Amino acid sequence: MAYGGVILSNSLSFYQKRIVMSSRVQEKNGGASIPHVLSVAGSDSGAGAGIQADLKTCAARGVYCSTVITAVTAQNTVGVQSVHAVPEDFVAQQLKSVLSDMQVDVVKSGMLPSVGVVKVLLQSLAEFSVRALVVDPVMVSTSGDVLAGPSILSTFRQPIAASAGYLCLISVIILLAKSKEELLPMADIVTPNIKEASALLGGIRLETVADMRTAAELLHALGPRNVLVKGGDLPGSLDAVDIFFNGEHFYELRSSRIKTHNTHGTGCTLASCIAAELAKGSPMLTAVRVAKRYVETALEYSKDILIGNGIQGPFDHLLKLKSGSHSFRRKDAFNPSDLFLYAVTDSGMNKKWGRSMVDAVAEAIQGGATIVQLREKDVETRDFLETAKSCLVVCRSHGVPLLINDRIDVALASDADGVHVGQSDMPATVARTLLGPEKIIGVSCKTVEQAQQAWIGGADYIGCGGVYSTNTKANNPTIGLDGLKTVCSASKLPVVTIGGINASNAGTVMEMGVPNLKGVAVVSALFDRENVLAETKKLHALLMEASSSSKMQ
Ligand SMILES: Nc1ncnc2c1ncn2[C@@H]1O[C@H](COP(=O)(O)OP(=O)(O)OP(=O)(O)O)[C@@H](O)[C@H]1O
Ligand SMILES: Cc1ncc(CO)c(N)n1
Ligand SMILES: [Mg+2]
């Protein structure tokens, strides 16, 4: 569907289309349009997953959600007791009622209980254009219940031979996978969990993050624009790792694995949040990152709530209404895994190699930089602001945060994602008051006391170094690996280390396996080189290898 180029020219970005579309609707009605997701999914009586999760997610994200119900399930925290599929022609009627009347931005599909319902959805999408399609190929719930084959669910529940039951399951999954082969090429993103990815690929074994990458690539070949293989159910993994693949680049999206039984409906929530963010105009990778953070925040917020007596409870989607918004917004804006490959710019180096700041930043991001800090020491404020705005366009289009070094005024004026301050700049607590709860604040710290102050002041992360000696910063004492370890172990905050890091020593730093050391910050190793893209790729690959070998230890 590629953002449904039927209505509007394909040369426009999704965001531009949204603006054009909104103004059209406003002209027609004289009112404001609200981003709109249509959820085509099953009802969950326990209200943790399905349609109910989609409604709550969209409400929490400020997006309107209409609903086409494909099945009604009798379901609770123990499992799925029964499924009643809505007749296909009635699904078709619901689709027509909504799509013929309302301006839907994004369709999100969940449980599609039969091949007939998939076909009905395909027909509606051919008739009524929307701008993006998010396909969550719901087949098997985390509780192990089959959701895509209600006609055989009853067969399953009868005491039949295990092998016969297994054959039934395989045949239904293959049938649905086949019909989804028609749905997948229409999808802007498909979001299978491990079992669903395996089923869609004919039952291949998926046991590691490397297997998830292979699966993402194979699924991409079936036609969707983007693939997100979700690792919530990956056995033995410490983090919650999802693999995003856009046909060109892989992104390993990590968040901490929240220790909770309340994970029922995470998949539906993630997909509907992606749909909601797309409806607001976000680019795909940004939408996925925001959605992952939303799920993580909601799980953390709800980790101790008790609903039902089963093994997998629901969580609270509307935490924002209760949580005084601070903790939610702050977490929403910052993910510690963004510190993994932290690129710090230097205009002197770019001049030396004859390239603009924006080009240098774009190359670093393409090479795998996960966050960018704009560091301009001897530049006029006006020029700094212009550079920040241009770099922000590049960063936003890739879902990579942009921080401004030292200058809170420039961060505010450019609406950058945050600042990084040193010990002689504005204290973190003042920066937090000026910037508000949503912006990211990082503080350079060499000592345990400084790290403690940064945490009290409301910083999101610490930059700790110089770990090795460097030419980039004069009069900067080196603290070494031991100094780094001391600060890390005394701090609750995530840490990125800086100072003289390059391809020859980055591995050593990451292999230390310090839990809150989330990445390395580099200047010369990327920007004082002829080919920024190649250097960033090299360092990214090296860091990936080092961090996976440290996790295996
Ligand atoms: N305990 C957890 N802590 C943090 N994130 C989690 C946790 N469990 C799952 N996630 C995240 O939630 C999202 C959904 O992943 P998951 O693999 O659980 O999907 P699913 O199996 O389709 O969900 P469902 O429970 O609705 O069937 C992913 O981004 C995953 O990384
Ligand atoms: C209705 C419904 N859709 C999706 C899921 C997957 O979590 C579920 N358990 N129930
Ligand atoms: Mg799951």
- Alpha carbon of 454 to ligand 3 centroid (Å): 36
Cα 192 to Cα 87, 228, 244, 364: the distances in Å are: 25, 7, 11, 30
Q: How far is CA 495 from CA 438, 444, 491, in A?
A: 19, 10, 9
Q: How far is the CA of 393 from the centre of ligand 1 (A)?
A: 31
Q: How close is the Cα of 191 to the center of ligand 2, in Å?
A: 14
- What average pLDDT score do residues 153-169 get? 33
d(CA 243, ligand 3 centre) in Å: 15
Pick 32-333's CATH classification: 3.30.1330.20, 3.30.70.2860, 3.40.1190.20, 3.30.465.10. Answer: 3.40.1190.20
Report the catalytic residues: 230, 263, 265-268
Share above pLDDT 90 across residues of the chain, in percent, rounded to a whole number? 65
Contact (Cβ atoms closer than 8 angstroms) between residue 96 and residue 68:
no
| pLDDT for the residue numbered 153 | 28
For 442-459, what is the mean pLDDT? 91
Q: Give strand ranges (E) for 289-364.
A: 341-344
- Number of the ligand 1 atom closest to the C-alpha atom of 141: 27
Residue 178 confidence (pLDDT):
56
Contacts of 475 (CB under 8 A, 6+ apart): none
Q: What are phi and psi of 107, to 5 degrees?
A: -100, 135
Which residue's CA lies nearest to atom 4 of ligand 1? Answer: 257
- In sequence order, which residues have a C-beta less than 8 Å from that of residue 73 and are 6 or more positions away? 42, 43, 44, 45, 50, 80, 82, 83, 84, 111, 147
Q: Which tokens go with 193? A: 């969990």
Residue nearest ligand 1's atom 11 by CA: 232
Binned at pLDDT 50, 70 and 90, residue 148 comes out as low
Question: Confidence band (pLDDT; 50, 70, 90) for 6?
Answer: very low
- Which residue type does 350 have? N
For the chain, report the end-to-end CA distance as a whole number of angstroms: 44
Give the residue-averaged pLDDT of 202-212.
Answer: 93
CATH topology of domain 336-552: TIM Barrel (3.20.20)
Residue 21, pLDDT score: 46
Q: For residue 454, which of 431, 473, 438 has the smallest C-alpha distance?
A: 431
Residue 174 has pLDDT above 70, yes or no: no
Please report the pLDDT score of residue 142 as a whole number: 62
Calculate mean pLDDT across residues 305-334.
Answer: 71
Ligand 2 touching residue 319 (CB < 6 A): no
Residue 196: which of 186, 187, 188, 206 has the closest Cα? 206
Question: How large is the average pLDDT for residues 260-282?
Answer: 95
Q: How far, in Å, is the centroid of ligand 1 from the Cα of 42? A: 18
Model confidence pLDDT, tens digit, residues 221-258 = 999 999 999 999 888 888 899 999 999 999 999 988 99
- 503, 508, 509, 510 alpha-carbon torsion, rounded to 10°: 90
Mutate to test the pocket of ligand 1, among 39, 52, 230 (most ligand atoms within 8 A of CB): 230
Residue 453 has pLDDT above 70, yes or no: yes
Q: Which pLDDT score, from 0 to 100, does residue 320 have?
A: 58
Ligand 2 atom nearest the C-alpha of 145 is 9
Q: What is the mean pLDDT of residues 8-27?
A: 42
Pocket probe for ligand 2: among 80, 138, 196, the residue whose CB has the most ligand atoms within 8 Å is 138
* Cβ of 189 less than 6 Å from ligand 2: no
The number of the ligand 2 atom at minimal distance from the alpha carbon of 143 is 9
> Burial letters for 276-301: b for 16+ Cβ neighbours within 10 Å, e otherwise?
bbbbbbbbbbbbbbbbbbbbbbbbbb
With a cut of 60, say whether residue 25 has pLDDT above it: no
Q: What mean pLDDT comes out for the span 318-342?
A: 67
What local confidence, expressed as pLDDT, does residue 236 receive?
A: 80
**pLDDT band at residue 433 using 50, 70 and 90 as cut-offs:** confident
Residue 353 has pLDDT above 80, yes or no: yes
pLDDT over 70 (residue 79): yes
pLDDT reported for residue 20: 44
397-411 pLDDT, tens digit per residue, is 888 999 999 999 999
* pLDDT at 33 (0 to 100): 79
- Tell me the pLDDT of the chain averaged across its residues: 85
Residue to mutate (ligand 1; options 39, 241, 253, 266; most atoms within 8 A of CB)? 266
Numbered ranges of CATH 3.40.1190.20 in the chain: 32-333
* ipTM attached to this prediction: 0.89
CA of 200 to the centre of ligand 3 (A): 16
Task: Put the strands of the sheet holding 226-229 in their side by side order.
Answer: 80-85, 64-75, 36-44, 106-109, 132-135, 189-190, 226-229, 239-245, 250-256
Q: For residue 377, count other CB atoms closer than 10 A to its CB.
A: 10
Q: Residue 445's pLDDT band (boundaries 50, 70, 90)?
A: very high
Give the residue range(s) of CATH 3.20.20.70 domains in the chain: 336-552
Residue-level pLDDT at 115: 86
Q: Quote the pLDDT of residue 551.
A: 55
Alpha carbon of 55 to ligand 2 centroid (Å): 13
Q: Using alpha carbons, select from 247, 245, 332, 336 the residue that is nearest to residue 291.
A: 332
Q: Is the minimum distance from the CB of 255 to ligand 1 under 6 angstroms?
A: yes
- Nearest CA among 207, 179, 175 for reference residue 194: 207
Q: What is the pLDDT of residue 35?
A: 95
Whether the pLDDT of residue 323 is over 90: the answer is no
Mean pLDDT computed over 451-475: 86
Average pLDDT score over residue span 510-523? 93
Q: Answer whether 268 contacts ligand 2 (Cβ < 6 A).
A: yes
Query: What angle is formed at CA 158 by the lines to CA 154 and CA 162, rounded to 5 degrees?
Result: 110
pLDDT of residue 313: 95
Measured between alpha carbons, how far is residue 344 from residues 370, 373, 435, 453 in Å? 11, 5, 21, 24
Establish whether residue 61 lines the binding site of ligand 1, counting it when its CB lies within 6 angstroms of any ligand atom: no
CA–CA dist 53, 56 (Å, integer): 5
Q: Closest residue (by CA) to atom 14 of ligand 1?
A: 267
pLDDT for 547: 81
Lowest pLDDT segment from 9-13, 151-155, 214-218, 285-289: 151-155
- Tell me whether residue 143 is exposed, middle or buried, using C-beta atoms within 10 angstroms of its C-beta: 0 to 12, 13 to 18, 19 or more: middle
Q: What is the mean pLDDT of residues 520-538?
A: 95
Q: Which helix (H) or strand (E) holds 404?
A: strand 402-405
Distance, in Å, from the CA atom of 110 to the CA atom of 24, rounded to the nearest integer, reads 30
- Nearest protein CA to atom 3 of ligand 2, as residue: 50
Q: How confident is the model at residue 170 (pLDDT cuts 50, 70, 90)?
A: low
Whether 83 contacts 153, CB under 8 Å: yes
Task: Please confirm whether the linkage preceding 466 is cis (ω < 30° from 0).
Answer: yes
